[in-house]
Copies of this chain bind each other. A is one copy, B any other.
Amino acid sequence: MRLARPLETLIDELVKLPTIGPKTAQRLALYILKLPEEEAKQLANAIIEARETVHPCPECGYLTDRSICLICTDNTRDESTICVAEETSDIIAIEKTGFRGKYFVLNKSFHLMDDNKLEEIKVAPLKKFLSNGKVKEVVLALNPDINGDILSRYIASLASDYGVVVTRLAHGLPVGGDIEFADELTLRRAMEGRKQF
């Protein structure tokens, strides 16, 4: 099928995005062609502006368009508790729990970071955080996989050097989840972590 070349190019670009398959890319591209020109430009400009201006906060790694992020400069937050997470999307989810401490985001897959240089790049700002004398607890909120376990152990050993208590999010049954359908490891963790009723 011969599509107009700029239409094909747009579909090719859209299909590179996560969760967007060829059918959805085609649908989105045809939709974009029908947008008023102003709205198509707004979308394109939003992409460019976000990409150019948003970067990890140099102190905590949370994505921001300022020199220091909104969370770091928020004096109403509890500086004694630092939640360490892998991605800004994790912070967005954790924030909804009402957590009012501060954060440290590893931005593992952020383009500025090279996975092989994880320690070199992120240890410096994390050490700065831990050494400021205000942090009393580090809450590890890393994904429960091998990678998350390795990172957790590494950060825990770092924190213990500074005499900081290290906790991590409880593993167990998801609320509303059926015991019958829980995977074995989750159920084992739930059993190990059982609490007095």
Contacts and interface: CB of A to CB of B under 8 A. Distances in A.
Copies in the complex: 2
A9 interface: yes
Contacts of A110: 33-34
A157 to B, nearest CB: 28
A176 interface: no
A65 B5 contact: yes
Interface residues of A, number: 65
A49 B7 CA distance: 9
Max chain B Cβ within 10 angstroms of own Cβ: one of A31, A49, A50, A64: A50
A6 interface: yes
Interface of A is mostly: helix
Interface string A37-64: 1011111111111111110000000011
B6 A18 contact: no
Max chain B Cβ within 10 angstroms of own Cβ: one of A37, A51, A87, A88: A51
Contact of A7 (B19, B24, B50): B50
A28 B17 contact: yes
A13 B46 CA distance: 7
Interface string A155-170: 0000000000000000
Given A13-B46, A40-B51, 10 more contacts: A1-B95, A4-B63, A5-B65, A7-B63, A10-B46, A17-B28, A17-B32, A33-B50, A40-B47, A44-B45
12 contacts: A1-B92, A2-B70, A6-B50, A13-B46, A19-B27, A20-B28, A23-B181, A32-B47, A33-B63, A36-B111, A40-B47, A44-B45
Interface of A: 1-7, 9-10, 12-14, 16-20, 23-24, 26-37, 39-54, 63-66, 69-71, 87-89, 92, 95-96, 109-111, 180-181
